[in-house]
Structure 1
Amino acid sequence: MLETTNILTPDKSPLNNQELLTRLISLANKITTAEGNTKTVIPYLSICRHTYESSLIPSVLSPAFCLILQGEKELHLGEHIAHYYEGDYIASIIDMPASGKVVGATKEFPYIGLRVDFTAAEVASVVAEAEIELPSRNKKPSTAAFIGKSDVGLLELFLRVLNLADNPEPVPFLATLMMREMIYRLISGKYGHLFLQQALYDQQSDGIGKAIGWIKENFSSPFTTLQLAKISNMSVSSLQHKFKEVTTMGPLQYQKQLRLQEARRLMLTCSLDVTTAAMEVGYESPSQFNREYKRLFGLSPLKDIKEIQNNPYNMSETEV
């Protein structure tokens, strides 16, 4: 771990994790006290705030770095359930169907988190410039998302980012530098090998990275496991085993969740009716679509969309 200069209070003793979290919470509250996910003037930075305990909300965890400042969240990835708390973060470079639940939040003690969105290309650029060696392809895969503990250096960086969001004049120049520093800290820190494995999957021209990428681009098209194995230059057994290790689910289940999430988005943002949305994402049977939609979201499509329209916070992204 690189040594960091304490630029926040240069003439005093370095701040500890809890003091930095307290400052981050104060600054986040200064920028916004709005409910839900709020974009800031920094294009990649959002502030998430909830004053209530939410239900379990299915979503897609897109490439991002998410840090909890206050509160608790429960995350479901396939059959795996994880809890993370203030000072913890989750990072992923692969689109991952997941479900998130805010735990124990109140108006007096709201859940507050920060989310930084990035692309695989941005990660690859930092890896190349810093000349960081990627892990072996033969190494056992890690899951598509992981939870880590933030250190003082990372929290100081987030404080600088929030200060920039509160004083946006130098944003165009400094925001990009801070993003690259954040990625560097991720890949050079304690959990960097996990993050780099994800980067390796995404860059592979064959294997799991190609399988995931192909499904993301063609999720409305039917396929068999054999066809996907040929596309990925893998055996069927190897594809099934490694795909589940990385994403916690099989290829067809991964496709199904992407389809249902996209159908939900189309009904909400494009006002598509149920049958049209189902056909748009590749379903031929409306009844099958209704069954699988209710199994994932807990309500039929019509009831779910009505519930979200009456209470839009029910469809918060899995921000953190």
Structure 2
Amino acid sequence: MNQTQPEEELSLEGQGELASLIERHTRTDGKHLSAIPSLHLFRASCEQEPQFAIYEPALCMIAQGSKLVMLAKESYRYDPRSYLLASVHLPIKGQILEATALRPYLGLQLNFQPDQIVDMLQMPRSGGEAGNHSSRGLAVGSVSSSLLDAVIRLIRLLDNPEDIEGLAPLMIREILYRVMQGEQGASIKSFVISGSHAQRIAAVIDRINRDYRQRLQVHDLAKMVNMSVSSLHYYFKEVTAMSPLQYLKQVRLQEARRLLLSETAEAAEAAFQVGYESPSQFSREYARLFGQPPIRDVNQLRHRLSRS
């Protein structure tokens, strides 16, 4: 006779399957693109030093191990029983905390577009009411059995690539629906409600990420979204934990680091490419964020990568 398994047992069983699926599709350490364009898989066989990145709007989940993500001075830790939700582009510092060769860190990132959330706003039970307030653009929530099940079914498609085009969009829609049903539902909705404070800050964030090379002025950004400068500062910090200029600086510096590492640009050239007019100011601010001057930092990164 079939008996219903307890929720706890079902969750453990599902987490084990999710780990097996990710491990099968990540034979080496690092970030792995998948046949589902918005789905990335991750594997790490040892704990890592903090890594800088700019998160896109995404749902991040862990099948094995744990991770610490830092946004400005705030810390967010998550593990197989929790997910990390980024509702806007955010410059972060992440560190894998639990990983060994025998039990590697295994995780996934599912990117999404605001239009996918807008598309579901009229659906019943699509999360709590989103008022005219600003939520933090990064949040941790509890993984439900229904969300876990939907994610597992999405990753199973990697074993049946012929089904991806037809079924992956439906499963991604279900995953986002499950997130909107959960404790972060009102938060994620607030970023797409036209005219809300969060939606206007999201528009400013998009502008900064698109035009960071240009000379952006805070009063112009405020005017763009019909806010006063003081309101923009207040709500921008509510969403990102930093001011607009601090955010712009992090975006520029992370892009400069990428240029230095991948394109062998000179420090002064990278500075100009990302919008700095003064190489000396660039070097000072780069060292303040990454711990050492540009060339020394990049040489150390290359050495570290050559050993991995």
TM-score by length of 2: 0.90
Number of the residue aligned with 1:6: none
Q: Which shifted more, 268-277 or 89-98?
A: 268-277
Letter in 1 for 2:168: A
Which of 243, 248, 258 aligns to 1:255? It is: 248
Are positions 1:13 and 2:7 aligned together?
no
On the 8 A contact 2:39/2:108 being kept in 1, the answer is yes
Number of the residue aligned with 1:22: 16
Output the CA distance in 1 between the equivalents of 2:39 and 2:295.
Answer: 33
Output the CA distance in 2 between the equivalents of 1:164 and 1:172.
Answer: 10
State how 1:13-52 maps to structure 2 within 5 Å: 13-14=4-5, 16-52=10-46
Q: 1:255-306: CA deviations, max 9, x gaps?
A: 0011111112222333322211110111011111111112112232212222
Output the CA distance in 2 between the equivalents of 1:264 and 1:282.
Answer: 13
On the 8 A contact 2:130/2:186 being kept in 1, the answer is no
On the 8 A contact 2:38/2:112 being kept in 1, the answer is yes
Letter in 2 for 1:217: R
Q: 1:107-150: CA deviations, max 9, x gaps?
A: 122211111111122222233566958845533x1100110110
Q: Which runs of 5+ in 2 are unaligned?
A: none
Output the CA distance in 1 between the equivalents of 2:79 and 2:73.
Answer: 20
Number of the residue aligned with 1:3: none
3-state SS, counterpart of residue 147 of structure 2: helix
3-state SS, counterpart of residue 101 of structure 1: strand
3-state SS, counterpart of residue 193 of structure 2: helix
The root-mean-square deviation of aligned C-alpha atoms, in Å, is 2.5
Letter in 2 for 1:154: L
**1:190, distance to aligned residue in structure 2 (A):** 2.8
Q: Which runs of 5+ in 1 are unaligned?
A: 1-10, 316-320
Q: Which shifted more, 254-263 or 105-114?
A: 105-114
Question: How many positions carry a matched residue from both structures?
Answer: 304
Number of the residue aligned with 1:67: 61
On the 8 A contact 2:44/2:106 being kept in 1, the answer is yes
Q: Could you list the runs of 4 or more consecutive aligned residues of structure 1 that deviate by over 4 angstroms after TM superposition?
A: 128-137, 201-206
Are positions 1:301 and 2:301 aligned together?
no
State how 1:168-207 maps to structure 2 within 5 Å: 168-200=161-193, 207=200
**1:178, distance to aligned residue in structure 2 (A):** 0.8
On the 8 A contact 1:57/1:314 being kept in 2, the answer is no
Letter in 1 for 2:285: E
On the 8 A contact 1:134/1:200 being kept in 2, the answer is no
The higher-RCO structure (CA 8 Å, 6+ apart) is 1
On the 8 A contact 1:206/1:232 being kept in 2, the answer is no
Q: 1:48 to 1:133 in 2, by over 3 A?
A: closer
On the 8 A contact 1:35/1:48 being kept in 2, the answer is yes
On the 8 A contact 2:214/2:275 being kept in 1, the answer is yes
**1:20, distance to aligned residue in structure 2 (A):** 0.7
Q: 1:88 to 1:202 in 2, by over 3 A?
A: farther
Which of 27, 37, 57 aligns to 2:51? It is: 57
3-state SS, counterpart of residue 76 of structure 1: strand
On the 8 A contact 2:68/2:78 being kept in 1, the answer is yes
TM-score by length of 1: 0.87
State how 1:1-320 maps to structure 2 within 5 Å: 13-14=4-5, 16-128=10-122, 135-139=129-133, 141-200=134-193, 207-312=200-305
Q: 1:231 to 1:147 in 2, by over 3 A?
A: same
Output the CA distance in 1 between the equivalents of 2:251 and 2:188.
Answer: 22
Output the CA distance in 1 between the equivalents of 2:200 and 2:62.
Answer: 33
Output the CA distance in 2 between the equivalents of 1:33 and 1:202.
Answer: 45
3-state SS, counterpart of residue 31 of structure 2: strand
Once the two structures are aligned, what percentage of the paired residues are identical? 35
**1:314, distance to aligned residue in structure 2 (A):** 10
Number of the residue aligned with 1:318: none
Q: 1:80 to 1:314 in 2, by over 3 A?
A: farther
Letter in 2 for 1:88: S
**1:102, distance to aligned residue in structure 2 (A):** 0.8
3-state SS, counterpart of residue 192 of structure 2: helix
3-state SS, counterpart of residue 46 of structure 2: coil
Letter in 2 for 1:94: V
**1:204, distance to aligned residue in structure 2 (A):** 7.4
Q: 1:133 to 1:23 in 2, by over 3 A?
A: closer
Letter in 2 for 1:274: A
On the 8 A contact 2:130/2:189 being kept in 1, the answer is no
Q: 1:129 to 1:313 in 2, by over 3 A?
A: farther
